[in-house]
Amino acid sequence: MTEIADINARIREKLLACQHALILSHIRPDGDAIGSLIGLGLAMQAVGKKVTLMLEDGLPSKYRFLEGSDLISKTAPEEFDLVIALDCSNKDRLGKISTDLRIDINIDHHITNDNYADINLVIPQMAATTAILADNLSIWGLPLDQNVASALLMGILTDSIGFRTVNVTPDLLRISARLMESGADMPDLYNRTLVSQSYPSSVLWGLALGRLQRENGLIWTVITLEDRKQAGYTGRDDADLTNLLSAIEGSEISILFNEEKDGKVKVSWRSNASIDVSKIAQFFGGGGHPPAAGADMSGGLDEVRKKVLDKSKQMLKELKSKGEAKK
């Protein structure tokens, strides 16, 4: 039996033996985290398992259209016999609950995942954690109905930015086609998650883009706490502004600085295919993928911005000198 097959056998045994699973994902959840939670949660419910889906920051409003979104809670139950972490590269990113929590199963696709659970299924070649779930549900003895398929396809769409990231493969498209065959509505999911924007998020974009800057292939901007207040945007996320920055012509590395209430700054990097920004994120205690990474940094906005820009400029300069980045 191969290593992956052995891991899958152990996961199947755990999933089918449990009575009540606590399934959780990272703070400031994105579409892949949410789709993973809902997809796996609904599939386990379908075979008679009790599940609690937990996100410390709760569910962003744009994803409430999904069947199963009402299962997501900000708190954990008093009793459960299985803990599953999805789409989370390290235990701390699960939030405050992670301090005293033992993780039984860790399923993820981040290359920087540190294998913090008893059972770790980490496949960096996959474009999304939802793709890993879609590819393995049947192996684990779990069904794939329309609602499960919709949640999983939504996660794939958001993490691949509509199939335009460098890790999109023929296998990913085949997985997505199977999800459509199971009832997922690709055009509707695409429009709801990648095209449609609320008025507050649009105002937030305008405020942040008003201070957009560029220097030698590096593009960056800032979202401040005052921006959120002025726009009426209540989420802690960046309203998917990172996707827009990464699409700007001439951008080799784009960076978004997102000011937080707790004296921290969420930093998000995006890059073209030739630059691994996960290495920069790891330098600052974060992680992610080669084309997309992030870190939560303590300090004032100006202080963090200077540190990050200096390091990012240094890395980009070194890569260009070695001929490893576009010129």
Give this prediction's pTM.
Answer: 0.90
Residue 1: its pLDDT value, please? 52
Nearest to residue 269, comparing CAs of 288, 249, 285, 250?
288
Q: 323 in helix, strand or coil?
A: coil
Show the tokens assigned to 63: 């994803």
Instruction: Name which CATH class applies to 199-321.
Output: alpha beta
Residue 327: its pLDDT value, please? 46
Q: Would you give the distance in Å from CA 197 to the centre of its chain?
A: 19
Residue 273: its pLDDT value, please? 65
Decide if 12 contacts 43 (C-beta within 8 A): no
Decide if 245 contacts 258 (C-beta within 8 A): no
Q: Beta-strand (E) ranges in the chain? A: 20-24, 50-54, 72-73, 82-86, 105-108, 119-122, 213-215, 218-223, 253-259, 264-271, 287-288, 292-298
Instruction: Name which CATH class applies to 3-195.
Output: alpha beta
Decide if 38 contacts 150 (C-beta within 8 A): no
pLDDT tens track, the chain, 327 positions:
579 999 999 999 999 999 999 999 999 999 999 999 999 999 999 999 999 999 999 999 899 999 999 999 999 999 999 999 999 999 999 999 988 899 999 999 999 999 999 999 999 999 999 999 999 999 999 999 999 999 999 999 999 999 988 889 999 999 999 999 999 999 999 999 999 999 999 999 999 999 999 998 999 999 999 999 999 998 888 999 998 998 899 889 999 999 998 899 999 999 976 788 999 999 999 988 888 899 999 999 999 999 999 999 998 888 777 766 654
Decide if 175 contacts 135 (C-beta within 8 A): yes
Decide if 254 contacts 316 (C-beta within 8 A): no
Give me the residue spans of the domains in the chain: 3-195, 199-321
